[in-house]
Amino acid sequence: MFRRFKIKLGQKEPLFLTCKNSDCNNIMMTQFRAYRAERGLWGPSLEECPRCKETHNYDQNDLHFGPNEVGYGHSESPEAE
């Protein structure tokens, strides 16, 4: 039996950073966009929070999709062996 699967990647979605100042926790939208199936390397990069003006080092483990979603760089990979 032959079935054709059409895998839809959808649109690239914006990635967010959450401020590392625990008193602030500002969600910052980055200029990055990625597919949900995709993982990449980024950083470390110094980013200044526009709300509290604190500067912290961020990398791909700090990137996440929605304001309440888990990380982008975290390894919850389905292909893990």
Task: Report which residue type is found at 21.
Answer: N
Q: Three-state DSSP class for 28?
A: strand
Query: What is the rounded distance in angstroms from the CA atom of residue 72 to the CA atom of residue 44?
Result: 14
Q: Report if residue 63 touches Zn ion, rule: CB under 5 A.
A: no
Cβ neighbors of 56 (< 8 A, separation 6 or more) are: 19, 20, 21, 46, 47, 49
Q: Report if residue 26 touches Zn ion, rule: CB under 5 A.
A: yes
Nearest-approach distance from CB 53 to Zn ion, in angstroms:
7
Q: Report if residue 52 touches Zn ion, rule: CB under 5 A.
A: yes
The residue within the footprint of Zn ion, chosen from 49, 58, 63, 72 (CB under 5 A), is 49
Of the pair 58, 72, the CB lying nearest Zn ion is at: 58
Residues within the interface to Zn ion (CB under 5 A):
19, 21, 24, 26, 49, 51-52
